[in-house]
Amino acid sequence: MTAASIAAQVRSGERTALEVIDQALEAALRLDPLLHFVDELDVVGARAAAERLEPTGPFAGVPFFIKARTPDNSPIISRLVAAGGIPIGTATRARPGAVSQTFGWNGQDYTRNPWDLSRSPGGSTAGGAAAVAAGVVPLATGGDSGGSLRIPAAFCGVVGFKGTYGRIPRPVGRILGGLTTAGFIGAELDDVILATSIASGPHRLDPTALPAWPVPTVHDRSWRIAYRSTLGCHLADPAVDHVIRERLTHAGVTVVDVPLELLPTDEAWPVLSGLDAGRGAEAAAANRAREVRDNNNTALADLFAEVDALITPTTLTVAHGYDQHESSIVTGDPCWAFNVTGHPAVSVPAGLADGLPVGVQVVAPHGSDDVALAVARRVQVALPPPPIR
């Protein structure tokens, strides 16, 4: 069920929050031995929160997972809880220090993909994506500094949304490199939109965050989009490219051939990430990273003067083996350019290739999160449930 429908049942009294939470906990306990998505399950805390809940909020009784190692004072958590959401625990992410983050690890085993137990659910929001795809919870929190919401959403056939930089406040405030945006992975686009709206707006810990973002009302129209199967030197797998091109053909969007020349971000991103982590940077490297950001922002502004949105594959391949993340490091290349520039980007399912989900990424101008989501709604497809659910 969607988060919105669960909340509606709890508010109406059709189901109690405790019934919903017990069902989610039971599903987590039953499926975690197969998928290894749980970092820590909070059975006692979740049941206590359900028992004392006043069922009035927009997310009344909705169970969700928190990405492991998310600070307890994060606004994304407190605001979802204030809206009635109930965290049932923390979900796995990649090991600290890994070069490629497209996997999950629970301390003993790799997190697995509900579509194929030999595959990774992506990362770094690995456990949240696996739990959502498996139907344990309708929503999970995360953060995206290089595709950490969008990559697992693509691998698992669900929705991952990174809003314009600063869309959701963070407990560390505005960081120097400006890569990371907090956000959600969800089974349904509307749930992710509502959750983002609830979590948006300045906070005492991040007063420079963007203004509160009401749930957008966007009337569908004839969208003009640019499509790029790759943004760098690494090509998308032909099967992935084919699925997306076929989907665009049937989605009724107008594909426009517009030039786009972006500078590579493979040197700028590590510099900005180091600044975010407080490691500092040489002046020349920091200036070069700023030049890359400024150049690409200008190039994208010129593109968006001609089209409503840019579409790419979210990942260049379908899900790789659960322990093959280092050899598949380039699969998320289409994602991290938009962390450097701060544009809104959302991944939704476009179809299946070899029985595994293919994600399509929709990027829109700064502040036009509503456009990215409206185009995503047009191009997304409803996938069948995965085998493990």
- Please give the pLDDT value at position 1: 87
- Please give the pLDDT value at position 226: 98
Indicate the pLDDT class of residue 27, thresholds 50, 70 and 90. Answer: very high
- Residues 104 and 97: their CA atoms lie apart, in Å, by 13
Quick check: 16 and 49 in contact, CB under 8 A? no
Mean predicted confidence (pLDDT) in 171-196: 96
Query: Of residues 100, 120, 145, 148, which has the active-site annotation?
Result: 148
- pLDDT over 90 (residue 337): yes
Q: What are the CA-CA distances from residue 339 to residues 2, 164, 276, 342 (Å)? A: 28, 9, 12, 5
Query: Of residues 120, 124, 145, 273, which has the active-site annotation?
Result: 124
- Residues 145 and 151: their CA atoms lie apart, in Å, by 11
- Please give the pLDDT value at position 113: 98
Average pLDDT taken over every residue of the chain: 97
Residues 184-199 have pLDDT tens digits of: 999 999 999 999 999 9
Q: Which residue has the tokens 């973002």?
A: 213
CATH of 1-389, one of 3.40.190.10, 2.70.98.10, 3.90.1300.10, 3.40.50.300: 3.90.1300.10
CB atoms closer than 10 angstroms to residue 295 = 15
Q: Where are the alpha helices (DSSP H) in 13-94?
A: 17-35, 43-52, 75-82
% pLDDT > 70, the chain: 100
Any catalytic annotation for residue 148? Answer: yes
- Residues 287 and 281: their CA atoms lie apart, in Å, by 10
- Please give the pLDDT value at position 96: 86
- pLDDT over 90 (residue 81): yes
Domain boundaries, the chain: 1-389
% pLDDT > 90, the chain: 95
Any catalytic annotation for residue 124? Answer: yes
Indicate the pLDDT class of residue 97, thresholds 50, 70 and 90. Answer: confident
Mean predicted confidence (pLDDT) in 344-362: 98
Residues 238-281 have pLDDT tens digits of: 999 999 999 999 999 999 999 999 999 999 999 999 999 999 89
- Please give the pLDDT value at position 99: 87
Any catalytic annotation for residue 67? Answer: yes
Q: Which residues contact 93 (CB under 8 A, 6 or more apart)?
A: 39, 67, 68, 69, 101, 104, 105, 123, 124, 125, 126, 127
